[in-house]
Structure 1
């Protein structure tokens, strides 16, 4: 059986061979090829059973057409949605994505970077674990395309995309104040990462702006490596030890889900006994009575912007890659819990 060539694909699709080559090498956007033509070429190639020889392409172009995605936990809904969108967006540029999780372990993060480097990925999208500064800095010094997502490293000059965490929490706190809540507890994770520090800063700043005296007893920091039952008990203890609380602000959606279990165990009613708001939305929050108010991150926008920045770096011919810092705005979703 005759092997299908680019020329054959071009004839079947009714376009030039160069157009087919650009599309199959992920350069349709760069060469301003219309989405209609791009889809037709891809469909014709797929139906004809044509698959580019990736090894040959890599040897010829010096590119593997592969990106490495390192996140905190691919099982977390936020990171799962992020990964799905990144994969779809990268495909539009002709790239595949290899993704993996650090579980916020710097040693594992270092191993994953080494593994992806051995696989000769063209660029890295990374949610850095605490103490990964040296590993990220090494990639920057080697002029490797790198974009950080969800968080950044203050000591490393590298492109990043995330939401304005401080502003988002301030918005959520303002909503609680407007609803008459004053005794607001804050539940966060005990982890040395910038976005958690910024969320706590947003909480503290909001209290200060309202002239409310800080009570450290109503700030709960749960270890990242917590056991589920242990975390549920810690949140329940916070509520039992501080009966004056009229609202809880959870710094992540997985903490909020644990908090809902704690509240249920104590047979407390939402929002009659305790109001609840969570940073990061979740499908559960839409259906859990009476609906949980949340701060919704623009996950798709984060993913698309991060991929776009990385593609700019991958296509750059500059001897030193430029740095771009992007902060997006989160959205307050008001439901029955407040």
Structure 2
């Protein structure tokens, strides 16, 4: 039989004192309520003896706070989001919050279902990497005064809090680096989406290619194909169609991993003849041969800015202006983008 959970009422009855007195002691208000040190000590020692654990649901109903946050990402298994999840978890824990993590797979229905679920669980706030078309769901959260912050991407037509990076400028810097090293047929492998982060990266590529009078060579893959072997086939066909390619910029780290696997398997020796840059760094990219040049987003600062903004929203008892944070990425140069001639 399951052991009955000890309640505040049980503690009060066993010690022959009021429930209110126990509650004041457990909430650190003994001195404020003029409860004697002797009685306070007695309550605390008994609580430890019976291993009392507060009922979080009842506590959240009483205080209006669950002390739980939600971090919804595209794919928690992705190294970029996994690193951010750990950073956010650590920052939240220091402030007395726990974090629930979930993946929406860039799927609108799944995103809306998860948001509805956690909203009904009365979490204190959301950090959301939004899927393409959930503007109305995000707008509803804002109108219901539920703290929410968009992360990594945003909706240009929705006024909300967000933390992103300078995707267009970072992509321009990467292409300029390749051009400066003598590459002339620079391909871009990206996602076929209008989400803000990918649209900005694509524009950065197109603007820089045009500036230098170079030819656009791009492959735009639907997200669904990147999580199946169809993505491998598309990249293989793309490389066969464009033998002139002498460098590739990948728009995400998982596209980089897929692309390099295809090249090593289907085009032996090509990896040593053309240049590569990936968006989003990983410690594994340092160990590749050649090591992979990467556009590195400032994950620690992104996490800090997101948590600072969300906690201000949670703690404020009035509406505060939305905050839009755009941080600068850096280019980490390694062997893969060196001159080949």
Which TM-score band (shorter chain)? 0.7 to 0.9
Give the conservation status (yes or no) of the 8 Å contact 2:272–2:290.
no
Q: Which of 145, 152, 160 is residue 147 of structure 2 equivalent to? A: 145
- Residue 25 of structure 1 corresponds to none
Per-residue deviation, 1:109: 0.8
Per-residue deviation, 1:73: 1.0
- Residue 279 of structure 1 corresponds to 279
1:317 aligned counterpart, secondary structure: coil
**What aligned pairs does 1:145-184 form with structure 2 within 5 A after superposition?**
145-184=147-186
- Residue 323 of structure 1 corresponds to 322
Higher CA-based Rg:
2
Q: Which of 117, 124, 127 is residue 125 of structure 1 equivalent to? A: 127
Alignment root-mean-square deviation, CA: 2.6
Q: Aligned in 2, Cα 1:270/1:312: closer, same or farther, shift over 3 Å?
A: farther
Q: Aligned in 2, Cα 1:190/1:149: closer, same or farther, shift over 3 Å?
A: same
Give the conservation status (yes or no) of the 8 Å contact 1:6–1:17.
no
1:295 aligned counterpart, secondary structure: strand
Give the conservation status (yes or no) of the 8 Å contact 2:264–2:271.
no
- Residue 68 of structure 2 corresponds to 66
- Residue 34 of structure 1 corresponds to none
Q: When the two structures are superposed, what TM-score results if normalisation uses the length of structure 2? A: 0.82
Q: Aligned in 2, Cα 1:233/1:17: closer, same or farther, shift over 3 Å?
A: farther
**What aligned pairs does 1:179-198 form with structure 2 within 5 A after superposition?**
179-198=181-200
Give the distance between the partners of 1:251 and 1:223, measured in 2 at CA: 13
Per-residue deviation, 1:119: 0.6
Q: When the two structures are superposed, what TM-score results if normalisation uses the length of structure 1? A: 0.83
**Structure 2 residue 333 is matched with structure 1 residue 334:** yes
Q: What is the CA deviation profile of residues 116-161 of structure 1, one whole-angstrom value per residue up to 9, with x for unaligned ones?
A: 1111011111011011000001111112111110101111111000
Give the conservation status (yes or no) of the 8 Å contact 1:270–1:276.
no
Give the conservation status (yes or no) of the 8 Å contact 1:110–1:135.
yes
Q: Which of 198, 201, 205 is residue 199 of structure 1 equivalent to? A: 201
Per-residue deviation, 1:202: 0.6
- Residue 213 of structure 2 corresponds to 211
1:225 aligned counterpart, secondary structure: helix
Give the conservation status (yes or no) of the 8 Å contact 2:188–2:219.
yes
Per-residue deviation, 1:236: 2.0
Give the distance between the partners of 1:78 and 1:51, measured in 2 at CA: 35
Q: What is the CA deviation profile of residues 26-74 of structure 1, one whole-angstrom value per residue up to 9, with x for unaligned ones?
A: xxxxxxxxxxxxxxxxxxx999967544234313311111112211111
Give the conservation status (yes or no) of the 8 Å contact 1:73–1:79.
yes
Q: Aligned in 2, Cα 1:162/1:49: closer, same or farther, shift over 3 Å?
A: farther
- Residue 288 of structure 1 corresponds to 288
Q: Aligned in 2, Cα 1:50/1:171: closer, same or farther, shift over 3 Å?
A: farther
Moved more, 89-98 or 220-229: 220-229
Give the distance between the partners of 1:47 and 1:207, measured in 2 at CA: 70
Moved more, 289-298 or 279-288: 279-288
Q: Aligned in 2, Cα 1:187/1:256: closer, same or farther, shift over 3 Å?
A: same
Q: Aligned in 2, Cα 1:50/1:270: closer, same or farther, shift over 3 Å?
A: farther
- Residue 220 of structure 2 corresponds to 221
Per-residue deviation, 1:86: 1.1
Give the conservation status (yes or no) of the 8 Å contact 2:70–2:101.
yes
Deviation >6 Å, runs of 4+: 1-6, 45-48
Give the conservation status (yes or no) of the 8 Å contact 2:163–2:326.
yes
2:267 aligned counterpart, secondary structure: coil
